[in-house]
Amino acid sequence: MATKTTDAAGHAAEAASASGMPQLDFSSWGNQIFWLLVTLVVIYFVLSRIALPRIAAVLAERQGTITNDIAAAEELKAKAVEAEEAYNKALADAKAEAANIVAAAKAEIQADLNAATEKADAEIAAKAAESEKAIAEIRAGALESIKDVANATTAELVSTLGGKAEDADVAKAVDAQMKG
Amino acid sequence: MASEAHGAEQGGLEFHPMDQFLVKPLFGGDHIGLFTITNVTLWMALAVIAVVAMMVVGTRRRAIIPSRGQSIGELAYGFIYKMVEDVAGKDAVKFFPYIMTLFMFIVMANFLGLLPMSFTTTSHFAVTIGLALLVFVTVTVVGFVKNGAAFLGLFWVSSAPLALRPVLAIIEVISYFVRPVSHSIRLAGNVMAGHAVIKVFAGFAAIAVVSPVSIVAITAMYGLEVLVAFIQAYVFTILTCVYLKDALHPSH
């Protein structure tokens, strides 16, 4: 009764619903494998004729571009290094020149200084010699005066003590005393 | 069938998790012949369109500085190219379009299958076994063409003790022939199981009390399935590369 009707309904639905695994329904295998082969062949030709060569070309081109860009960058870097070297060289040259100028100026100044010092020294020496001469004259004068005074004093002392003094003797005695 | 219908009468619960995998002719009729246009045809055609959109339309400008679409295409290209080169070796690069075809088809079919109401072509053993056999035949043919009889050295483990070698050879031969089976069942099984589980959770959503949990579970499963869709395509492709490596360099 009820089972019969549901059975009938089930039978009607059986066309649309699977009994067991549809995977094991071998009647459709030929069909599936046929369409699979068609699909694979189509995909194979699309990929091997169009897609893969195109992508390979794009990748190769990109690689080339990157390589070129890197080469260009390296070239620019080398140029920059060169420029820096030139700059450093110019700087070093300028420094050396400056040092030369400084040294020359120093030498000149030193020479001037030496000349001035020499001149001053000579002047000082001349003045000193002059002064020494003057001092010697003064000293000689003083000695002479002392001798005179000593002679006079001695003569006076001798005469006061009652002696008789020859001028020559007195002078000799004074000389001897003064040397002593 | 009857008890299922009976249950439906009682709780309003209807589980038809496998219905989504039915192969149906698109333009009426029940008979599925070799060339009948079915939902399989439709979704495979959509996969082709998706591949064309991604790899051809996306890269049409050939820009040095790629657009977003072009980046995706280039990413896919680089991903598989590097995989082939790393896993299978430099001399396997001439098989790159072939492997790319497999990967693009599987990944697109998997993701298209995640659209609601869609049909997942890669959930069918017919499709995955077809793919796996294609790989198996290619690898075997390449192995013999490249190495001649030396390809059989793949089964003769020369680093093992002599007494063990015949035993190992039998194991190696068995494992070699099991390859297409595991290769195909893994892909279809993963995809089918995920989709069926989502459908089961969706069936539970009919009960008002359970429906929030059910929706959360569907969301979580869907997230997992997105991962699985990519990972299974990746696994299928990398295994293809590994097998290809064996064919090109059969020595252990």
Give the pLDDT confidence of B6-15 residue by residue, as tens digits.
444 445 567 7
Domain count, chain B: 1
- The two most distant CA atoms of chain A are separated, in Å, by 203
A16/B1 CB distance under 8 A: no
The β-bridge partners of B38 are B25
Asked if A43 and B51 come within 8 Å (Cβ–Cβ), the reply is yes
| Tokens coding A150 | 């000593």
pLDDT at B64: 87
Who contacts B109 (Cβ-Cβ below 8 Å, separation ≥6)? B43, B44, B47, B120, B121, B122, B127
CB contact under 8 A, B5 and A30: no
Contacts of A37 in chain B (CB under 8 A): 130
Cβ separation A47–B40 shorter than 8 A: no
Task: Concatenate the DSSP letters of all residues of B9-39 into one string.
Answer: HHH-----TTGGG---BTTS-S---SS--BH
d(CA B107, CA A15): 30
Q: Which residues of chain B have pLDDT under 70?
A: 1-13, 252
Q: What's residue A168's pLDDT?
A: 81
Cα separation, B124 vs B189, in Å, equals 9
Tell me the shortest Cα–Cα distance from B124 to chain A, in angstroms.
5
Count of C-beta atoms within a 10 Å radius of residue B25:
18
Domain of residue B231 covers 2-248
Q: pLDDT averaged over chain A?
A: 86
Q: Report the gap between the CA of B165 and the closest CA in chain A (Å).
A: 38
Q: Do the Cβ atoms of A40 and B134 come closer than 8 Å?
A: yes
Q: pLDDT of A21-76, one tens digit each?
A: 888 888 889 999 999 999 999 999 999 999 999 999 999 999 999 999 999 999 99
* pLDDT tier at A10, thresholds 50, 70, 90: very low
Predicted confidence at residue B5, as pLDDT, reads 40
Q: In angstroms, rounded to a whole number, what is the distance separating the alpha carbons of residues A126 and A130? A: 6
Alpha-carbon gap, residue B178 to B187, rounded angstroms: 15
Rg of chain A (C-alpha set): 67
Distance CA B194, CA B224 (A): 8
A112: which 2 tokens? 């001037």
Q: Check residue B6 and give its pLDDT.
A: 41
Report CA dihedral (B237, B239, B244, B245) to the nearest 10 degrees: 120
The yes-or-no verdict on residue A124 having pLDDT over 60 is yes
Q: Is A46 on the interface with B (CB under 8 A)?
A: yes
Measured between CA atoms, the residue of chain B closest to residue A30 is B34
Q: Nearest C-alpha of chain A: how many angstroms from B128? A: 9
Domain ranges of chain A: 33-179
